[in-house]
Chain A
Amino acid sequence: MFHSYKLEGFFDEMLEKGQQPRGHCKPFHEKLTDIAPEELQTRYELAQSDFLRQGITFTVYSDNEGTERTMPFDFVPKIIPPEEWQVLERGLIQRFDALNAFLDDVYHEQNILKDGIIPRDLVVNCQHFYEQVAGIDLPRRQHIFMAGIDLIRDDNGEYRVLEDNLRNPSGLSYVFQNRYVMRKVYPEFFNEYSVQSLEQQFSYLHSAMASLAPHSKNPNIVLLTPGVHNSAYYDHSFIAQRTGIELVEGKDLVVRERQVFMKTARGLKKVDVIYRRIDDEFLDPLEFREDSLLGVPGLIDVYRAGNVSILNGIGNGVADDKAIYHFVPDMIRYYLNEEPLVKNVDTYLLRYQDQLDYVLDHLSELVVKHTNASGGYNMLIGPHASKEEIEAYKEQILKNPAEFIAQPTIKLSRLPAFKEDRFAACHVDLRVFIFGGEKTHVFPGGLTRVALKEGSLVVNSSQGGGAKDTWVLEENPVKVQR
């Protein structure tokens, strides 16, 4: 199965030079090579059909038409040894806390702008800066309830943050489903390992939401979804169900005299916390987009009055903006007086003439992204682009250079992925979920995304990516039977 597997100078998370499994992967690798290829194929099909049966799908948008798909699952997990995880965990808590402090600052005193650490225009003119919520004090000053931070590993295996998702990161449900299917279809893989369990996480999630309520007594918490047609609806219904909160749409809520209520068969019931999965601009037609039918008129006024908590906070997009990203290490130094534990990927801001000149001269080596696009759309991957594509993108850049950033192409780490009769080395990244509340908490594991198309660097599910289970190993040593 591994006869055609090549490392090709990339960091492979499972195999070292000479195709030997890394220490913490040995027991898994042995099991893997013990199972007959036909058996693997049978189980693979079983796993895929399980996802389909449970209705775990997401929607891919192209040409304005949505198609529902399941995310392909690959059963070779990403295994993270405890000492590696501890460093990551500390680094992510640090990053989360600094980002949160930044949000509270830019919506209040703006000290970081006054001190010239970040150019003011990048923040206040950002399309995700909502001046309507400036000055609003949030419970625990917590703007981020759930962050989904995307990590990659470079060719030395060092973790780096690729993206901070602080608005409506999706994918948490896949983490649970991947584990569920993995345990069901491949139980023996777990034999030699003690993997940190995910079972406690939902009760944790619930108490984190409750801790962010405007008051402490038994808050009524709801999850506000745009509805069944949203690409992440599965995520919404799954989280609502597992945390035991009501799943509602905008039309189920109403605002009356600075309070928000849920319509029930027995009349109106006051709502204290809204975990919303609707984008900011659609939340309230009175203060944001007038044409929004998804939101709740008056909601922002209730928020302003401090009578409801909205999670994640409104206006968080100013902190996960692709240009602001460049300054996150500075935020960590500024607010926490610490050195960043997890590095950024080097980023060029094309608003600066010298960086623009450099990037235009090196387009074929760089990844260029539009600061307002997400999901891997509208980006240039220099090394994989044709001359024509580069020229066309260059024109786009020159129209408004300030809207672009560039990064070196990182040689993303790889893991084996099952391809019927063999394993292929495919690039992966990792989305880790971090929660704010009484205490910042990192979810043990995360969503490992894999670019199943060999050689591809795009792991986004909308563009041919798949998922893997992610194991964070307990601190007690791995038992290796020999």
Chain B
Amino acid sequence: MKYEVTQTNTYQYELPVRQSINQFRLKPLNDQQQTLHAYNVLINPASQTYGHTDYWGNYVETFYLWGEHQDLSIETISTVETKPFEIDVSLPLTDEQLKELHSEAFKQAHTEFMIETDYTTISNGVMEAETEDLWRNARDELDFAVKLNEHIYNTMEYVSGATNVETTAEKILTHRTGVCQDYTHLMLALCRYRGIPARYVSGYIYSGENSAYRGDAATHAWLEVKIPGLPWIGLDPTNNAIAAEQHIRIAVGRDYRDISPLKGVYIGGAHTLNVSVGVKNLEERVSG
């Protein structure tokens, strides 16, 4: 599916600010799962960006605004083509896949995505209790991940404003409320606890007109798990879905900290940030 995604981020400052340095990760990934056809950035006040690719393969752009300004907007327009998901997750893993999954070499290769981070720390006892039944009844790790995706969807309540970007997985599990970022951190913790490499994904979701998908108003978050012999499989616990053509990926990392979409340092007072996202399906005919 081919989309045009527009994201507009507008900062408004109480008083004029200066010497602002900003960094953003907003360029969609261009890899086996999706093709990036076009990407443009508009910054106002006009500014040159300096880009680099980070350790996780994400594109990071930095820009500087030395003089005084009271508004700042960063607008990105991307044309992305996603591919359909063609793996049957109901098929059991083969003996070879399982053997590799449990091997030291596999664990070493994906070790970054198997550790606890500040965001995903939950005490072992709590994680054991939370996943005990699912684990016992799961056919294998992939089956467990798919069922956990559903379990989190069913036992969590989607409430915006109850958490913030600093909320950790332990807190989320206590309150069982949150937004996509929280669903994702919680599931990352539980997958890793059961020895499944899992990484955070930030991106967009195309919900269309008739979709019940949450996360259409702004950026979305989900996760990907790694099973030997398969590409990273996207799981979206906020929607109890397997990420497919409607999921557009921007960045991956161990947790939110690695994919942080926008950050900046400046001299001056308080600000407000407004983010709006529009995803247009370029293949769908406009009716009427």
> Could you tell me which A residues sit within 8 Å of B by CB distance?
119-121, 124-125, 131-132, 134-135, 254-258, 285-287, 297-298, 301, 304-305
Contacts and interface: CB of A to CB of B under 8 A. Distances in A.
A343 B19 CA distance: 51
Nearest to A133: B55
Interface residues of B, number: 22
B21 interface: yes
B21 A121 contact: no
Contact of B50 (A121, A125, A297, A305): A305
Interface stretch (B106-114, B151-159, B206-214): B106-114
B72 interface: no
Contacts of B264: 286
Interface in B247-288: 263-265
Contacts of B52: 135, 304
Given A120-B108, A120-B111, A134-B55, A257 B265 contact: no
Given A132-B54, A305-B50, A258 B109 contact: no
Contacts of A135: 52-53, 55
B108 A119 contact: yes
Contacts of A301: 21, 23, 50, 62
5 contacts: A119-B108, A120-B108, A121-B108, A135-B52, A298-B62
A309 B82 CA distance: 41
Interface of A is mostly: loop
B259 to A, nearest CB: 13
Interface in B80-135: 107-109, 111-112, 115
Contact of A286 (B21, B55, B66, B108): B21
Contacts of A119: 108
A257 B55 contact: no
Interface centre among B52, B109, B111, B264 (most CB of A within 10 A): B111
Interface in B48-90: 48, 50, 52-56, 62, 64, 66
Nearest to B112: A124
Given A132-B54, A256-B64, A125 B19 contact: no
A6 B235 CA distance: 70
Contacts of B64: 255-258, 298
Nearest to A259: B64
Contacts of A297: 21, 265
Contacts of A131: 54-56
Given A285-B265, A301-B21, 11 more contacts: A119-B108, A121-B107, A121-B108, A121-B111, A134-B55, A135-B53, A255-B64, A258-B50, A298-B265, A301-B62, A304-B52
Contacts of A298: 21, 62, 64, 265
A255 B62 CA distance: 12
B19 A254 contact: yes
A26 to B, nearest CB: 56
A257 B108 contact: no
Interface centre among B21, B263, B264 (most CB of A within 10 A): B21
Given A132-B55, A301-B21, A301-B50, A120 B263 contact: no
